Amino acid sequence: MKTNERILAIETSCDETAVAIIENGRNLLANVVASQIESHKRFGGVVPEIASRHHIEQITITIEEALEQASMTIDDIDAIAVTEGPGLVGALLVGVNAAKSLAFAKQKPLVGVHHIAGHIYANRLEKEFEFPLLSLVVSGGHTELILMKEHGSFEVIGETRDDAAGEAYDKVARTLKLPYPGGPEIDKLAQEGEVTIDFPRAWLEDGSYDFSFSGLKSAVINKLHNARQKNEHLKPEDVAASFQESVVDVLSTKTFQAAQEHQVKQVIVAGGVAANKGLRKALEEKFTGGEIDLLIPPLSLCTDNAAMIAAAGTVAYQQGHRAGWDLNANPSLNLEHYAARSKS
Ligand code: KG4
Ligand code: ZN
C-alpha cells in the first residue's frame, strides 16, 4: 500500500469550520480553523441554526485556503475524510455534504471519522502512539477513558453518567457571569484564586472509572445562590479555583488508577478541556518520573480542528475503511460501533 497518503479532512461538528491536509498520517501540510465563537457569545452558547449557516458560508473558502496553504490542488489529494458524528446534525451535514461533493466530483475515496477518534489522534501529530494506551477525552460533550490496544480500536472503560467536564465548566461559568466558552475563563480565574471551598467529588463505586459532574455543578450553583441571598461575598476566583480543584482531582486520579491497572505505555489527553492548566499540571505531577509516557497536545490541537480528523482519517483509510455516497451525519455516533465498523 502507498504510504505517503495525502488526506484532506473536514470538521464541522460544532462551531468551528475546519479543513486540514496531512501527509503520512502525521505530517501537517495545512490546518485552517474558522471559528464562530464571536457569533455565539452573545447567546451564551452555540446556537445550532447559526452554526449551520456559518459553516455553509465558510466551507468552500476554508477548503480553498487549506489547499493554498499546502500549495496543492485537489488532484494532489488521495482521499477526503470528514467528521460524520457525533455533533450538531445541521452542522455535521454541511461538512459531510461538502466532503461527498468533492469526493464524487474528483472521484476520490471518502472516509467517515468519529469526532472523538479525531481528538485522540491529535496527539499522534506530536508523537507516535505506543500500545496499549489510555486516553482521557474531556470536551464539551464527552468525558471518557478510552483504552486502545491497537490503531483504530477504542474500548470505553469509563464515561460520564451525566454532564461532560466541559459542560460543567460552561454552566458554572454562566452562573459566575463569565463569557462563553466558560472553560478557559474559569481556568484563567482559578489561577488567581485559592481553594477555600470544599466542593464534592463524585468517586462513585469502588473501581468504577465512570464520572459524574452534575452534583458538583449543582453544589457550586447552590453555594453562589445561597451567598447572594445572605449578602455574603464569595470571591469568584476562589469559587473557580475550588471548582477546578474538584474536577481536576477526580479526572487525574481516575486516569492514573486506570493507567496503572491496564499497564499502559502512554496516557494521552484529548479534547477542549485538555487545554486546562490545572488539569495539565495535575497530570504532569502524577506521571512525571514514572514509566508511563504522558502526552498532552499543544493548545491549538486541543480544541476542535481538522488536523485531528485527518490524522484519524489516515488510519481508517489505511485500514481500508471507505464510506459510500450514502454517508450521513450521525449526531450520536457511538465510538465502539464506529471502531468495529472501521475494522470490518
Ligand atoms: O473539544 P472541544 O473544542 O469541543 C467539543 O467537541 O466539545 O471542547 C470545548 C469545551 C468547552 O466546554 C470549553 O469550555 C472547554 O472545552 N475548554 C476548557 C478550556 N478550554 C476549552 N475547559 C477548561 N479549561 C480550559 N482551559
Ligand atoms: Zn471536540
The pLDDT, as a whole number, for residue 35 is 86
| 84 CB within 6 A, ligand 1 | no
Q: How confident is the model at residue 209 (pLDDT cuts 50, 70, 90)?
A: very high
Q: Ligand 2 centroid to 34 CA: how many Å?
A: 14
**For residue 20, what is the DSSP state?**
E
Parallel/antiparallel/unpaired status of strands 266-270 and 27-35: unpaired
Q: How many CB atoms lie within 10 A of CB 197?
A: 17
What burial class does residue 4 get, using C-beta atoms within 10 Å of its C-beta: 0-12 exposed, 13-18 middle, 19+ buried? exposed
Q: How confident is the model at residue 66 (pLDDT cuts 50, 70, 90)?
A: very high
Question: Dihedral of CA 88/93/95/96: which sign?
Answer: positive
- The CA-atom distances, in angstroms, between 140 and each of 54, 114, 163 are 20, 15, 9
pLDDT in tens, 20-43: 999 999 899 999 999 888 888 888
| 118 CB within 6 A, ligand 1 | no
Answer whether residue 282 shows pLDDT above 60. yes
Mean pLDDT of 197-207: 93
CA pair distance 155, 88, nearest whole angstrom? 24
- At 298, the amino acid letter reads P
Q: How many CB atoms lie within 10 A of CB 294?
A: 18
Give the ligand with the smallest distance to the CA of 141: 1
| 297 CB within 6 A, ligand 1 | no
Angle of helix 48-69 versus helix 89-106 axis, rounded to 10: 30
| 273 CB within 6 A, ligand 1 | yes
- Where do we find the cell 452554526? 51
The pLDDT mean for the chain works out to 94
| Residue bearing the CA closest to ligand 1, atom 10 | 140
Domains and their CATH numbers in the chain? 6-121+302-343 (3.30.420.40), 130-296 (3.30.420.40)
Q: How far is CA 293 from the centre of its chain?
A: 20
Q: How confident is the model at residue 180 (pLDDT cuts 50, 70, 90)?
A: confident
- The CA-atom distances, in angstroms, between 131 and each of 146, 159, 304, 309, 326 are 12, 21, 25, 20, 34
CA pair distance 102, 207, nearest whole angstrom? 47
Q: How many CB atoms lie within 10 A of CB 162?
A: 15
Sheet holding 155-159, edge to edge: 155-159, 143-148, 133-138, 266-270, 293-295
The pLDDT, as a whole number, for residue 343 is 57
CA pair distance 42, 301, nearest whole angstrom? 25
Q: What are phi and psi of 148, to 5 degrees?
A: -120, 125
Number of H helices, E strands in the chain: 12, 10
Q: Ligand 1 centroid to 303 CA: how many Å?
A: 6
Mean pLDDT of 323-333: 96
| 313 CB within 6 A, ligand 1 | no
Identify which of 100, 125, 110, 99 has the alpha carbon closest to the alpha carbon of residue 28: 125
Percent of the chain with pLDDT over 90: 86
Q: Ligand 2 centroid to 234 CA: how many Å?
A: 32
Q: Ligand 1 centroid to 194 CA: how many Å?
A: 22
Percent of the chain with pLDDT over 70: 98
Answer whether residue 157 shows pLDDT above 70. yes
Give the ligand with the smallest distance to the CA of 118: 2
pTM above 0.95, yes or no: no
The pLDDT, as a whole number, for residue 2 is 55
pLDDT in tens, 101-132: 999 999 999 999 999 999 999 999 999 999 99
Identify the H or E element spanning 18: strand 16-23
Closest atom of ligand 1 to CA, residue 173: 14
- Where do we find the cell 445561597? 226
| 184 CB within 6 A, ligand 1 | yes
CA pair distance 79, 102, nearest whole angstrom? 10
The pLDDT, as a whole number, for residue 146 is 98
Q: Ligand 1 centroid to 142 CA: how many Å?
A: 10
Answer whether residue 261 shows pLDDT above 60. yes
Answer whether residue 156 shows pLDDT above 80. yes
Identify which of 64, 73, 77 has the alpha carbon closest to the alpha carbon of residue 107: 77
The pLDDT, as a whole number, for residue 3 is 65
The count of residues in the chain is 344
Which three three-digit cell numbers place residue 24?
503520512
- The CA-atom distances, in angstroms, between 78 and each of 59, 231, 244, 293 are 20, 63, 44, 33
Let me know: does 97 contact 12? Beta carbons within 8 Å.
no
Closest atom of ligand 1 to CA, residue 180: 14
Mutate to test the pocket of ligand 1, among 12, 303, 305, 333 (most ligand atoms within 8 A of CB): 303
Alpha helices by DSSP H, listed for 107-235, are 115-121, 165-175, 182-192, 214-229
What burial class does residue 174 get, using C-beta atoms within 10 Å of its C-beta: 0-12 exposed, 13-18 middle, 19+ buried? middle
Answer whether residue 80 shows pLDDT above 80. yes
Radius of gyration for the chain, computed over Cα atoms and rounded to the nearest angstrom: 20
Q: Of 94-98, 238-242, 335-339, where does mean pLDDT reach its minimum?
A: 335-339
